[in-house]
Copies of this chain bind each other. A is one copy, B any other.
Amino acid sequence: MISKAKISFIKSLHSGKGRNEAGLFIAEGTKITNELLINQNIKIQSLYATNDFLEENNLLSNNNFEVFEISESELQKISLLSNPNKVLVIAEICKNKFDVSKLKNKLTIVLDNVQDPGNLGTIIRTMDWFGIKNLVCSETTVDVYNPKVIQATMGSFLRIKTHYVNLENFIKEYFSKYKYNIYGTLLNGKNIYKEQLTQEGLIVFGNESKGISSNIENFITNKISIPDFSKSKSIDSLNISIAAGIVFSEFKRTT
Whether the Cβ atoms of B131 and A229 lie closer than 8 Å is yes
* Number of this chain's copies in the complex: 2
Choice from B35, B228, B239 contacting A234 with Cβ under 8 Å: B35
CA distance A253 to B192 in the complex (A): 10
CA distance A12 to B122 in the complex (A): 32
CA distance A162 to B235 in the complex (A): 18
Choice from B128, B228, B239 contacting A122 with Cβ under 8 Å: B239
Binding site secondary structure of chain A: helix
CA distance A108 to B126 in the complex (A): 25
Chain B residues closer than 8 Å to A201, beta-carbon distance: none
Q: Give per-residue flags for A68-98: 1 if the beta carbon is below 8 A from chain B beta carbons, else 0.
A: 0000000000000000000000000000000
Whether the Cβ atoms of A129 and B159 lie closer than 8 Å is no
Whether the Cβ atoms of B129 and A238 lie closer than 8 Å is yes
Whether the Cβ atoms of B128 and A235 lie closer than 8 Å is yes
B-facing residues in A228-253 (Cβ within 8 Å): 228-232, 234-235, 238-239, 241-243, 245-246, 249-250, 252-253
A155 interfacial contact with B, CB 8 Å: yes
Choice from B118, B156, B238 contacting A118 with Cβ under 8 Å: B118
